[in-house]
Structure 1
């Protein structure tokens, strides 16, 4: 799950215990970072002597420690269940991240274009997931849990920004989804949302020499195993 998620939520609620690292410089691959997250992945959180990994766990920790406004993770049992339902289903590993990796990172790192059939398959799978999202989770509601924005909406939109940044115009022919996106961005703050996604929005303009060598090799081995 993207670091933008924890960053965006923490800043929106004026809390910043999330550990900031520069992924392009492979700061998450250092021994110092290993002390925070032995898996050496971002995002990670360090709050005093307490450390935590994984975006959803970080979000729930921030909600409960800092008593953020109720709408983010409602006390109402059924509204909270709607949030949990989406968080149990979410897009990322199955749909959004594969398209981003294949269409952006693989060509960047290997220097080889993505075979059209692989891009087509990843796009088809994302289209199916988007249909499920609209019909099951969003329906005709302003937000996933009802009339107010929640963690579920923030997680969903941040995940969908992965294929958007890979060049997939998924909102263009989906007016209900586009209207939902506008509501979520407005609730979070458009400037903050853009700030959180600044790096990923520019990823298509990067060249391989802008990555730390150890990060480049790590990405390459991981992507080649999957493809």
Structure 2
């Protein structure tokens, strides 16, 4: 059995892995796990990942979870171009620095923005107070300031003159609030220009393909009551 990737392109880390594999012509079998149907909560998927989360990589008998670990595994196994995850010690450390920061900063805030603005009220039918939404968007704004001020600065990409895993992870995160209708690039010309460079480096067709699902998130159908009961506690724990 060849490489299998368990993904749902609603998920931002799944989009990063999908784009990375496609861009680098890594052959894989896509195993779609529909989060909005609760397929990740099934007993069958728990046999693949007991944590009941995507993404998951399965390479023969080897199973790997956690998106950054999967990206690094693919980069190392398939000998992708060096700019994605450089061999140079300090250049590599810059990518690692961003990947370490984003977990509890940009990812958390982008995820909360999507759920508080769209997925909780539309998909799960749970109201979000204006105060909660305002706090979430203010925290997202602070994370964007750090992204632009510390990491991007005046460079073409987050860690230098070429696209890296840092850029790919960052842009897929930012498309979460974009999918919720947030104007994250408005009034941020440096960040907007960076987005255009990342999209061009990835390829516009692939970029749009990977983000088609999230850009239609506002059109999600309400979850049925049984699924809502199963999902709501997990969602609230995830976005707290």
Could you tell me which residue of structure 1 aligns to residue 215 of structure 2?
201
Could you tell me which residue of structure 2 aligns to residue 7 of structure 1?
18
Contact kept? 2:121, 2:127, Cα under 8 Å: yes
- Inter-partner Cα distance in structure 1 for 2:22 and 2:227: 27
The one of 175, 196, 202 aligned to 1:161: 175
- Inter-partner Cα distance in structure 2 for 1:29 and 1:49: 22
Question: Which stretches in structure 1 are left out of the alignment for 5+ residues?
Answer: none
Cα distance change on mapping 1:218 and 1:2 into 2, 3 Å: farther
Cα distance change on mapping 1:94 and 1:112 into 2, 3 Å: closer
Contact kept? 1:19, 1:46, Cα under 8 Å: no
Which range is displaced more, 146-155 or 95-104? 95-104
- Inter-partner Cα distance in structure 1 for 2:108 and 2:57: 25
Query: Within 5 A, what are the aligned runs for 1:140-155?
Result: 140-155=154-169
Shift of 1:168: 0.4
Could you tell me which residue of structure 2 aligns to residue 218 of structure 1?
230
Could you tell me which residue of structure 1 aligns to residue 7 of structure 2?
none
Relative to the length of structure 1, the TM-score reads 0.91
Corresponding residue SS for 2:93: helix
Cα distance change on mapping 1:92 and 1:132 into 2, 3 Å: closer
Contact kept? 1:37, 1:53, Cα under 8 Å: yes
Could you tell me which residue of structure 1 aligns to residue 53 of structure 2?
41
Question: Which stretches in structure 2 are left out of the alignment for 5+ residues?
Answer: 1-11
Q: What RMSD, in angstroms, separates the aligned Cα atoms of the two structures?
A: 1.9
Contact kept? 2:106, 2:143, Cα under 8 Å: no
- Inter-partner Cα distance in structure 1 for 2:230 and 2:206: 30
Contact kept? 2:148, 2:191, Cα under 8 Å: yes
- Inter-partner Cα distance in structure 2 for 1:40 and 1:134: 33
The one of 137, 147, 163 aligned to 1:133: 147
Corresponding residue SS for 2:228: helix
Relative to the length of structure 2, the TM-score reads 0.87
Shift of 1:12: 1.2
Could you tell me which residue of structure 1 aligns to residue 116 of structure 2?
102
Shift of 1:34: 1.7
Shift of 1:215: 4.2
Shift of 1:224: 4.8
Q: Does 1:61 align with 2:79?
A: no
